[in-house]
Amino acid sequence: MRPVTFRVEATDGEARAGIAETARGTYETPCFMPVGTRGAVRYLSADDYARLGARIVLGNTYHLMLRPGAETIAHLGGLGAFTGWDGLTLTDSGGFQVFSLEPDVDDDGVTFRSTYDGSTHRFTPETAVRTQELIGADIQMVLDVCPPLPSPPDAIRSAVERTHAWAVRARAAHRRDDQSLFGIVQGGIDEHLRVESATRTVDLDFDGYGIGGLSVGEELHEMLPALDATTRHLPTDRPRYLMGVGDPVSLVEAVALGVDQFDCVMQTRLGRHGTALTSEGKIHLKSAIHALDDRPVDPACGCEVCRRHSRGFLRHLVRAGEPSAARLLSVHNVAWTIDLMARMRAAIRAGTFAGFRRDLLSVWGAGG
């Protein structure tokens, strides 16, 4: 039996509302997955995740394999039990982090140093699979090659070739029948390479498909044609996951092209710098204009932060350097983004997604 099954319940244009079923539970799409890099979403607890509406939380394989170690996590029951989270989990392969460190790469794998103690480590497609099987997330990603953009054409071509070769090996190495394995499409912003990579990856018959190598330096107008070329060649009965994307414009534009799930650290990164995501665009709470403002961060938001606290109070916390400011704004930003995805699902089901997208872009299209 396939570890993940996916059913499209409604469409509006290319946008899809669906349900994915894993061995341990289901999640609705489109969905946003908060990132718990080292086993926890920054400033949030496992109790927060469910209360804010999250269904899947990510773990970062690179960081978790170094500290506390995959074997330790396995001994303590796997990623969910280890972190106290009884929802679903997904681990990336660690490839994005590894390749950001300028490692030594060859056809067999990649050698890199730990950011913690400088020790040397080796990853191959097979060890990436085994490490993630030990960590025990519900969904794991294959090891891929993720070049920054812009990169020379030969670097993009090499990434496509190695990613495919490594995907073949990862598919053969995967053993856990209660854990899904997603392939990853590369190709930069070259539409022809995107089509080629998508077609070759689909031929390997993965449980779902990650779309990697985007939102790594290119402009949105460059990303969207490459994304469109990719999704058109992915099967309709598998989840489509745009990796590392979480700003509202990219989310709604990607959903319009048929993407189902997303992750990003932006929500908590903005929170710790005093910035909130709202129906009015970004609000920078350090600004003096909020000093006497008794309104919630977003009057249209029903999250616990907006129900209780004013902009004036939150500005005070930000200006005073109170750690609670980062927590409260991160809670709001994650809750707001999860609710945004829920509103997209509702619009798709109602056949009003085009109007929803137009309204969001009228606020956020010029940068929020």
> Which are the catalytic amino acids?
92, 263
Q: What distance in Å separates the CA atoms of residue 19 and residue 120, rounded to the nearest whole number?
A: 41
Residue type (1 letter), 17: A
Could you say which DSSP state residue 289 is in? G
Q: What distance in Å separates the CA atoms of residue 140 and residue 211, rounded to the nearest whole number?
A: 14
Could you say which DSSP state residue 1 is in? -
Q: What distance in Å separates the CA atoms of residue 312 and residue 199, rounded to the nearest whole number?
A: 52
Q: What distance in Å separates the CA atoms of residue 347 and residue 329, rounded to the nearest whole number?
A: 26
- The dihedral through the CA atoms of 315, 317, 321, 323 has a sign that is negative
Residue 87: other Cβ atoms inside 10 A: 16
Q: What is the four-CA torsion angle of 298, 299, 305, 308, rounded to 10 degrees?
A: 150
User: Strands 281-284 and 275-278: what pairing?
Assistant: antiparallel
Helix (H, G, I), strand (E, B), or coil: what is residue 141? strand
Q: What distance in Å separates the CA atoms of residue 214 and residue 188, rounded to the nearest whole number?
A: 7
